[in-house]
Structure 1
Amino acid sequence: MLSTIPKVEQLTCRIVRVLGCNPGPMTLQGTNTYLVGTGPKRMLIDTGNPDVPEYIENLKECLNDKNVSIEAVVLTHWHHDHVGGIKDLFKNKLISLDTPLYKFPLRVDEKPNNNELKYSYLKDMQVLQTEGATMKVIFSPGHTKDHIALLMEEDNAIFSGDCVLGEGTAVFEDLHDYMKSLQLLVDLKPGRVYPGHGKVVNEPVEFIQYYIKHRNEREEQIVACLKECHPIPVESMEIVKRVYKDVPVVLHLPANTNVNNHLNKMKKEGRVTEENGKWILSKL
């Protein structure tokens, strides 16, 4: 059972979390967006889904209560539950045409969902500053090709986007890159992690090491399944049904994506072979 997350919560003197009000199997309680800084102008990390009036109203009320405005938006990656709210921020005059929308580049023709706006592209290790907060961009691909985390120097805290969730485990596009990004975050030795979904992680080094261990264990389960089936090749979804048998069927499709990422990683390593969409161990 997921923990309860308030719709608006002052987490520290420089961080307010505003929940995206878009709960679901992949978004958990909803997307966590964060208002960061201590001055009259602050940065907003991520924007939630498009067309969620409750989120916009909560954010607007928070800004009014604190008598602050948004001076820049920082986006951890391209997924719609993180960039989707941009057009609603603009429509409700919470940002303007002059408000920077900071993001790591995904492709050259990438545009926000409001044609009047455009992205300002970030670089790895770039520093973003607002009154009361200094954040360093940490390029952390794997969940997506353009994923970043943000290291806030004042508190030695990381805004992890979807690289690390507060509950459960994350999906990813490229397992090789994802594992490297997890280790990168461990090596930073953060004191706290503010995830894109789920509760705040107060012991992040141990938590992220669990992520790494979990992925390694999952790979061992996939290998064991392939050994059981050998020499008959099997489809990835058959592996999902065996390995994720205790997981709700509604999550089997994203689980299948994870399994395929593991299989493709092992294919690069020469450990498995693909034959007409079916997989077999290269050698026992």
Structure 2
Amino acid sequence: MSLSNYVDYLVAGAAYAGARLFGKMAQPANLTPLEAQSKLSPLVYRVLGANPGPFTLQGTNTYLIGSGAEKILIDTGEPNINEFTESLKSALKALGDAHISSIVCTHWHGDHVGGVNDVIKKVVGREIPVHKLKRKEQADAHGPPSGYSFVDDGHVFRTTGATLKAVYTPGHTSDHMILVLEEENAILSGDCILGEGTSVFEDLHTYMQSLAMLLNMNPSKIYPGHGPVIENPTERIQQYIDHRNEREEQIISFLSSRTADESVSSMDIVNGVYVGISAAVKLGAVGNVKHHLTKLLKEGRVSKVSSDQWRLARSSDKPDSSHL
């Protein structure tokens, strides 16, 4: 690793750690203001997770679903945030002393499952089912004492007035699912699509497939895991697809600007392609670039010279599975 890359990683790491440590101080500027609680439709009530930041935007959106006294809670925010659990209790009271009958988590990230036990202990007062798709790579964390109730693609959740269908949408994470609110033809998108900005992902190939699936579903609106409601869902999903394709071409263009034998790191690419981004999200950009490069490597369009050194592929390059 070059000295300049080393310094870049130190600065980015410190900025991200500071953003996590200082929470609200790290909320990005120019975001759409969101109320702590909002009734979005007769079936959807949003409660912000009180955890704003460079990756969580205004905070994690949690949703109370249903028209009756029994609500399904979608996602739970982060752990140890009393402001959120108090807001959730207040929301239930405002909804006519409603109660949470079950919890559904869109994916394993801590800002979506981290608050499970706080919600159960401080808001519900008893164990209730907590559903999610199973994560294959390692054990799921933050679950209730009795463990998660794992569901499969296509599982249907019902409460008064509302029907939610789980749809497997890997890419952001391997266990990610969206929920289709059938009565509104709306999608609760988790982190597959955000209300503002773009999302990080674990696997670009499957992420692009999931975006194409969402586009074909033609939803009426999207309730995202972060940011405001998306009222122009088809346009927004297409923007995500176009953005990833444009980013890929920018990476190819950056590599093309180097000499034939010159290799660059993923941080070099971020510094050359991601103009003006906050240091706090630079590590996320590095991760996205690496996923782009992995895809391009599989397609034979780039070559991996060493652990994080890349150049355009040449006809003389031989596939090396150790780099995959």
Matched, 1:19 2:48: yes
2:310 corresponds to which letter in structure 1?
W
Matched, 1:234 2:268: no
Matched, 1:156 2:185: yes
Say which is worse superposed, 20-29 or 88-97, in terms of deviation.
Answer: 88-97
Measure how far apart 1:96 and its partner are: 2.1
Pick one of 84, 88, 91 that aligns with 2:121.
91
Q: What's the TM-score once normalised by structure 2's chain length?
A: 0.85
Aligned to 2:21: none
Q: Percent identity?
A: 47
Pick one of 56, 78, 87 that aligns with 2:108.
78
> What SS class does the counterpart of residue 257 from structure 2 fall into?
helix
Pick one of 207, 221, 229 that aligns with 1:178.
207
> What SS class does the counterpart of residue 229 from structure 1 fall into?
coil
> What SS class does the counterpart of residue 178 from structure 2 fall into?
strand
Deviations 1:137-191 (A, max 9, x none): 1100000000000011100000000000000000000000000000100100000
Ranges in structure 2 where 5+ consecutive residues have no aligned partner: 1-29, 316-324
Aligned to 2:226: 197
Aligned to 1:43: 72
Cα 1:203–1:219 change in 2 (3 A) is same
Measure how far apart 1:283 and its partner are: 3.3
CA distance in 2, matches of 1:184, 1:192: 15
CA distance in 2, matches of 1:137, 1:115: 20
Aligned to 2:313: 282
Q: Give yes or no for contact 2:222–2:230 (8 Å, CA) kept in 1.
A: yes
Higher Cα Rg, which structure: 2
Aligned to 1:125: 154
Aligned pairs for 1:96-111 within 5 A: 96-97=126-127, 99-107=128-136, 110-111=139-140
Larger helix fraction of residues: 2
Q: Give yes or no for contact 1:230–1:281 (8 Å, CA) kept in 2.
A: no
CA distance in 1, matches of 2:138, 2:249: 40
Measure how far apart 1:250 and its partner are: 2.1
Pick one of 230, 234, 258 that aligns with 2:288.
258
Cα 1:6–1:189 change in 2 (3 A) is same
Considering only aligned residues, what root-mean-square deviation do their CA atoms show, in Å? Answer: 1.3
1:269 corresponds to which letter in structure 2?
E
Aligned to 2:318: none
Say which is worse superposed, 161-170 or 59-68, in terms of deviation.
Answer: 59-68
Measure how far apart 1:87 and its partner are: 1.4
Measure how far apart 1:114 and its partner are: 5.4
CA distance in 2, matches of 1:115, 1:208: 34
Deviations 1:208-238 (A, max 9, x none): 0010000000000000000011320111100
Q: Which runs of 4+ in 1 moved over 3 A?
A: none
CA distance in 2, matches of 1:13, 1:78: 28
Matched, 1:52 2:81: yes
Aligned to 2:303: 273
Pick one of 245, 249, 253 that aligns with 2:279.
249
Measure how far apart 1:18 and its partner are: 0.2
> What SS class does the counterpart of residue 52 from structure 2 fall into?
coil
Ranges in structure 1 where 5+ consecutive residues have no aligned partner: none
Deviations 1:45-89 (A, max 9, x none): 000010100000000011122211000100000000000101111
Cα 1:79–1:142 change in 2 (3 A) is same
Aligned pairs for 1:62-77 within 5 A: 62-66=91-95, 67-77=97-107
Q: What is the aligned length?
A: 283
Pick one of 130, 142, 153 that aligns with 2:171.
142
Q: What's the TM-score once normalised by structure 1's chain length?
A: 0.97
Cα 1:14–1:23 change in 2 (3 A) is same
